[in-house]
C-alpha cells in the first residue's frame, strides 16, 4: 500500500491539500508494478490511508479507470456519508422487518390448518 500512496504522490496527489488531477489506474499500476483494481482494489474508502480522502472513482463502462482526489475528508462530507449509510441501513432493516412479518403471518396461518398436508392432488391438477 505504501508504494501505491508514493506513486499517487508522484503522479499528482498533493499531500498538503489532499487534491489531485485525474490519475489513471494504468499509470499507478505502471509506477508500482501492482494491479490495484478488481475485487481486492487497493484504493478503497474503507482502507487507510485512502479513507482520509474525499475521492472519486472515475469509471468508463462501469470499470474504474482512474481516481480524482478532492481533498481531505471534512466534517460535512463525513456527516453526509454517515447519513447516507444510516438511510441505506434503515431501508434494508425495513425490508427485512417486512419479510419477517410476512413469514410470521404465514406461519400463523399454517398453524390454523386442520391437516398436516399443505397441498394435494387438487392443487396440482390446476396446472394440467
**Helix orientation angle between 2-11 and 25-32, rounded to the nearest 10 degrees:** 120
pLDDT digits (tens, 9 = 90+) for 72-124: 999 998 899 899 999 999 999 999 999 999 999 999 888 888 777 887 788 88
Question: In this structure, is residue 125 part of a structural domain?
Answer: no
* Average pLDDT rounded to a whole number, residues 39-56: 84
- Look at residue 45 and tell me whether its pLDDT is greater than 90: no
- Look at residue 6 and tell me whether its pLDDT is greater than 60: yes
Question: In this structure, is residue 94 part of a structural domain?
Answer: yes
- Which range of residues forms the domain containing residue 103? 76-116
The cell for 40 is 481486492
Domains identified in the chain, total number: 2
Q: Are residues 62 and 8 in the same domain?
A: yes
Count Cβ neighbours within 10 Å for each residue of 22-55 and write b for 16 or more, e otherwise. Answer: ebebebbbebbeeebbeeeebbeeeeeebeebbb
Q: Are residues 6 and 69 in the same domain?
A: yes
Q: Are residues 33 and 56 in the same domain?
A: yes
> What band does 128 get if pLDDT is binned at 50, 70 and 90?
confident
Q: Are residues 56 and 83 in the same domain?
A: no
- Look at residue 37 and tell me whether its pLDDT is greater than 80: no
Q: Are residues 54 and 102 in the same domain?
A: no
Question: In this structure, is residue 122 part of a structural domain?
Answer: no
Q: Are residues 69 and 82 in the same domain?
A: no
Q: Are residues 87 and 60 in the same domain?
A: no
Question: In this structure, is residue 127 part of a structural domain?
Answer: no
Q: Are residues 88 and 99 in the same domain?
A: yes
* Average pLDDT rounded to a whole number, residues 34-56: 82
Amino acid at each position: 500500500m505504501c508504494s501505491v500512496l508514493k506513486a499517487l504522490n508522484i503522479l499528482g496527489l498533493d499531500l498538503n491539500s489532499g487534491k489531485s488531477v485525474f490519475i489513471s489506474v494504468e499509470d499507478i499500476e505502471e509506477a508500482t508494478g501492482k494491479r490495484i483494481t478488481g475485487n481486492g482494489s487497493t484504493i478503497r474508502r474503507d482502507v487507510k490511508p485512502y479513507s482520509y480522502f474525499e475521492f472519486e472513482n472515475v469509471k468508463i463502462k462501469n470499470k474504474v479507470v482512474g481516481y480524482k482526489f478532492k481533498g481531505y475528508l471534512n466534517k460535512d462530507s463525513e456527516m453526509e456519508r454517515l447519513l447516507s449509510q444510516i438511510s441505506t441501513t434503515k431501508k434494508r432493516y425495513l425490508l427485512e422487518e417486512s419479510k419477517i412479518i410476512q413469514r410470521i403471518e404465514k406461519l400463523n396461518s399454517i398453524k390454523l390448518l386442520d391437516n398436516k398436508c399443505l397441498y394435494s392432488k387438487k392443487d396440482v391438477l390446476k396446472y394440467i
